[in-house]
Amino acid sequence: MAFTDDLEIRRLGSGDTALMRDLLSCFGDAFEDDAAYVSAQPDDCYLGELLGEDSFVALVGIIDSRVVGGLVAYELRKFEQRRSEFYIYDLAVLEPFRRRGIATSLIEALKPIARSRRGYVIFVQADGVDAAALALYDKLGVREPPVFHFDISVE
């Protein structure tokens, strides 16, 4: 795996709504899901507030001023001990930039952020058919037994 020398990893803050929109477009392209990531984006005020929250982490991988990948994670504060878990909600790299260590670099950049917030673990889910994601996460962590995911309507 060739790590990219010209890769910049940046954590987005409240003033980075334009880069957040670039990240949303990146996710739309990488996941082939513009309907979810591009077509109904929230306004700048909402994005700025979200990016300003300590418990929300948006990291972008930038090459030549272009967002080529990114990671979004949420801090989940625990109740049984004073500590947190960090959940990687989305992680993607544009196809032409894959297999260059960008996803690994994004996860590595999340680690010190998590530690600074009393994080003791980072966890992520992957679809069983996504061989590349499974290979990445197997390399970086311990696979838990299969679990079932349920979406429960709020209606």
The beta-strand segments (E) located in the chain are 8-11, 56-63, 66-77, 84-93, 119-124
Task: Report the topology of domain 8-140.
Answer: Aminopeptidase (3.40.630)
pLDDT of residue 153: 64
pLDDT for the residue 131? 67
Domain boundaries in the chain? 8-140
Give me the residues paired with residue 92 across strands.
Answer: 70
Q: Across the chain, how many H-helices and E-strands are there?
A: 5, 5
Determine the pLDDT at residue 128: 63
Rounded to whole angstroms, the Cα distance separating 19 from 12 reads 8
Alpha-carbon gap, residue 12 to 51, rounded angstroms: 6
The reported pLDDT for the residue numbered 1 is: 43
pLDDT value at residue 124: 83
Residues lower than pLDDT 70 in the chain: 1-4, 126-131, 133-135, 145, 148-154
